[in-house]
Amino acid sequence: MQQQSYEPLGAQAADGSPRILVVDDDPTVAEVVAGYLDRAGYLVDRAGDGPAALTRAAEHRPDLVVLDLMLPGMDGLEVCRRIRAHGPVPVIMLTARGDEEDRILGLEVGADDYVTKPFSPRELVLRVESVLRRSRPAGTGHRLGAAGLTADPAARRATKNGTELPLTLREFDLLSFFLRHPGRAYSREDLMREVWGWDFGDLSTVTVHVRRLRAKVEDDPARPRLIQTVWGVGYRFDPTGQTAQEEAGRA
């Protein structure tokens, strides 16, 4: 298969409107979603299957992809993997209601959010606005660092011991939040509100992103020392890397 070259992220329309790629094999769903996004001021491209989505993404790099999980030719998980291999493009997955395992898989391959069918087009537009808002460089903000980890909010770049980390947009936000608030335990509800900006939602979203972040920042993700589980509460970032048992042993 011929290697596709991609435009740099942010190849927006001449008027600066963010470019959204809508990928769904149901023409009615695609038309409705595209119509709402168009009226919200976005430039919309459409594709009806996986290979077409990759072609469209190569021709015009999207600022965000609305991606159906079940597609002919190539499923949404593979499309997400291939698009994300070329850069941190935000992805919102469309999944069937009740398919929790598929939603988890979508988050595992790097989707930033998901919406279950049937869904409100207005809700989808709000999700798109939320993800895009959080994906933009902060422009200001001090560089964060602890325990060999750094996060630069302006550049949206993170490193571990000087090596750049391949973080998704949400993983970067989560790491930045932990670096800003070391030593304090946060529930999954707290993290969903503070990092995702949602007052409600599927808490497995937080669990999956913590697991993915641990896989990239911990020396041994199976025994995390930096992002620790606080049983009955949630998670705590400890830059000392000491577990509760070790702290008790030093007392």
pLDDT band, very low/low/confident/very high, at 75 (cuts 50, 70, 90): confident
Show the tokens assigned to 151. 């996060």
pLDDT of residue 101: 72
Question: What's phi and psi for 141, nearest 5 deg?
Answer: 125, 140
How many residues in total does the chain contain?
251
Residue 105, pLDDT > 70, answer: yes
Q: Mean pLDDT across the stretch 198-216?
A: 85
Query: What distances in angstroms separate CA 56 from CA 8, 48, 77, 247, one per listed residue?
Result: 14, 10, 17, 54
Does pTM top 0.85 for this prediction?
A: no
What CATH number matches the domain at 19-135, 1.10.3470.10, 3.40.50.20, 2.40.30.30, 3.40.50.2300? 3.40.50.2300
CATH class of 144-242: mainly alpha
pLDDT of residue 153: 85
Task: Note the pLDDT tens digit of each residue in 39-58.
Answer: 999 999 999 999 999 999 99
pLDDT of residue 5: 42
Mean pLDDT across the chain = 83
Query: Which among 60, 50, 82 is positioned nearest to 13, based on CA atoms?
Result: 60
Spatial separation of the C-alpha atoms in residues 212 and 218, rounded to whole Å:
10
pLDDT of residue 139: 54
Spatial separation of the C-alpha atoms in residues 95 and 107, rounded to whole Å:
11
Grouping H, G, I as helix, E, B as strand and the rest as coil, residue 52 is helix
Query: What distances in angstroms separate CA 147 from CA 121, 159, 221, one per listed residue?
Result: 43, 11, 15
Show the tokens assigned to 117. 């069918």
Contacts 24+ apart (CB under 8 A), 233-236: 233/185, 233/186, 233/187, 234/185, 234/186, 234/187, 234/188, 234/189, 234/190, 234/191, 235/178, 235/185, 235/186, 235/188, 235/191, 235/210, 236/183, 236/184, 236/185, 236/186
Grouping H, G, I as helix, E, B as strand and the rest as coil, residue 167 is coil
Spatial separation of the C-alpha atoms in residues 223 and 219, rounded to whole Å:
8
Give the least confident one: 36-40, 97-101, 173-177, 239-243. Answer: 97-101
- Per domain, the residue ranges of the chain are 19-135, 144-242
Domain 19-135 matches domain 144-242 at the CATH topology level: no
